[in-house]
Amino acid sequence: MIDQKELTIVIVTYNSAVALTDCLSSVKKSLSGPIIVVDNASSDCSVQIARAAGVEVHELSQNYGFAHAANYGACAAQTTFLCFLNPDCIYDASLLKTASETLLKSERCVAVPDFIHDDGQIVRGCQPGYTWIKVLADCIENNRSWPRLLNILKYSPGYNAKKWQWPLCACAFCSKEFFLKVGGFDKKYFLYMEDVELGNSIYQLGGTIETLDARVIHHAHTGSSISAEQRLMLLNRARLQYARKHYGAFFERVLHMLINKNISFSMEA
């Protein structure tokens, strides 16, 4: 089993005060190893909560987004293994034992539990890879009321990629060496789709996403106090970035017209 002191918990915060106390309490009850909080210039008391809990805190000068902050925390860690944990997750004491069995068999992997949401829904930590059909369906589902087309897309044989998966990184274990080898999270993504991109990178290097025999309580969408409109804008932005990178500028423009929202940013050429 991995020694507790060889695992660093990395938590990225941005106005996360509502959820952070319970998250840190659950980790500190379960582990004696290092905890790093990387704060994206919160305007609430997230930093004060983290400092009061006695964990290592890194305050960034501005909100650089999740990917940048998570990479920062990974580089700051001095341990062999990492666990990325969202501030709206509750860490369970049995997780390290379960993760150890997986990581010690293959360090070329990211290991994830499943997640239990407040409404009782169970969300799989290992998700099927993306195709252009899936990107299109996601954009329709979040921005349009086209149930017939959505059903056609979701039941299409080409909806999910068959060769690769991606880890839902609300709680994700890996070795630091492997995480850095795959390039970490792509910092071009401010929030969302960075874990999808990570899964793609892992596949390209011959790594795997492994499902742990465990479930983590996830109070989804409480880890950062932003509005539903802001959250949707960030989600749309990330999907447009992913579409452009993998399927070209024309497909990105099609999605942009479909979204038909006032998106206050310019895409990179």
The enclosing domain of 182 has a CATH number of: 3.90.550.10
Tell whether 229 is covered by a domain.
yes
The boundaries of the domain holding residue 31 are 7-259
| DSSP, residue by residue, 26-82 | HHHHH--S-EEEEE---SSSHHHHHHHTT-EEEE-SS---HHHHHHHHHHH--SSEE
Phi, psi of 46 (to 5 degrees): -55, -45
Give the residue among 110, 201, 203, 109 at the shortest CA–CA distance from 163: 203
pLDDT (tens, 9 = 90+) of the chain, 269 residues, equals 999 999 999 999 999 999 999 999 999 999 999 999 999 999 999 999 999 999 999 999 999 999 999 999 999 999 999 999 999 999 999 999 999 999 999 889 999 999 999 999 999 999 999 999 999 999 999 999 999 999 999 999 999 999 999 999 999 999 999 999 999 999 999 999 999 999 999 999 999 999 999 999 999 888 887 888 999 999 999 999 999 999 999 999 999 999 975 444 333 32
Angle ∠(178,29,177) on CA atoms, nearest 5: 10
Tell whether 269 is covered by a domain.
no
- Strand-pairing partners, residue 57, are 37
User: Which residue bears the tokens 């999910």?
Assistant: 160
Rounded to whole angstroms, what are the CA distances from 64 to 166, 170, 218, 234? Answer: 23, 18, 23, 13
Torsion of CA 40, 45, 47, 52, to 10 degrees: -160
Tell whether 223 is covered by a domain.
yes
Compute the distance between CA of residue 120 and CA of residue 117 in angstroms, rounded to an integer: 5
Give the residue among 198, 171, 166 at the shortest CA–CA distance from 182: 198
Joined tokens for residue 83:
């666990």
Tell whether 242 is covered by a domain.
yes
The overall pTM is greater than 0.95: no
Tell whether 176 is covered by a domain.
yes
Joined tokens for residue 255:
């999605």
Q: Is 29 exposed, middle or buried (0-12, 13-18, 19+ CB in 10 A)?
A: exposed
Considering its fold, how many domains does the chain have in total? 1
- Helices marked H in the chain — which ranges? 17-30, 46-52, 66-76, 95-103, 132-143, 147-154, 176-181, 194-204, 228-247, 249-259
- pLDDT at residue 225, rounded to an integer: 79
Compute the distance between CA of residue 49 and CA of residue 97 in angstroms, rounded to an integer: 28
Tell whether 266 is covered by a domain.
no
Classified as helix, coil or strand, 139 is helix
- pLDDT at residue 260, rounded to an integer: 75
Give the residue among 55, 56, 44 at the shortest CA–CA distance from 18: 44
Tell whether 231 is covered by a domain.
yes
Give how far the C-alpha of residue 190 lies from the chain's centroid of Cα atoms, to the nearest Å.
11
- pLDDT at residue 261, rounded to an integer: 52
Tell whether 264 is covered by a domain.
no
